[in-house]
Amino acid sequence: YLLTPPVAEEMTVRYIIFLVIPLVVFRVTSAVGRTLNRTVRCELDGDGATRGFLQYHLDGEDFFSLDVETGNWTIAYTKAENFITEWDPEGDLAKHWKNHLNNTCIKRLKQFLHYRTDTEERNGTHALQYFAAITPGINYTIGELDGEQ
């Protein structure tokens, strides 16, 4: 429950994978067989420094990612530019994910760490990461705290 992204954003991604990817990016009429994956990761160092990462993959290849410092999308695949133009024309999703990585994800990570019983376990660098597959017929999210599900 805590690791599930907003439902509205998921619906947008589903719409995109069925319509925008095939029509705008690949100029085909079906998204059957396409796989869109998202990796979200936030890190908290022992000194309090934080980092966030968001990356999308299409069919296992880098597609685009979010530059958390600037709040802009970084294109890894040239055709992703058309995708982003259609998917996030005003940059609202980039703003949402930047906020999520810098605030919500870190807050959740701190909550998980708070419930660890051993103070030693709370020290050091920690990461909260989840993977989401958005594919026709399959939609799942798997979360990890420090590499453990």
Q: Would you kindly state where each structural domain of the chain is located, as residue ranges?
A: 7-145
Return d(Cα 13, Cα 26) in angstroms, integer.
16
The CATH number of the structural domain formed by 7-145 is 3.30.500.10
Task: Please state the rounded mean pLDDT for residues 79-105.
Answer: 89
Instruction: Choose the weakest-confidence range: 28-32, 60-64, 109-113.
Output: 28-32
CA nearest neighbour of 54 among 125, 6, 102: 102
Task: Please state the rounded mean pLDDT for residues 30-34.
Answer: 60
pLDDT tops 70 at residue 81? yes
Q: Which residues contact 107 (CB under 8 A, 6 or more apart)?
A: none
Tell me how far CA of residue 35 lies from CA of 47, 71, 72, in angstroms.
Answer: 38, 25, 23
In this structure, what is the dihedral angle of CA atoms 137, 35, 149, 8, given to the nearest 10 degrees?
-70
Does the pTM surpass 0.85? The reply is no
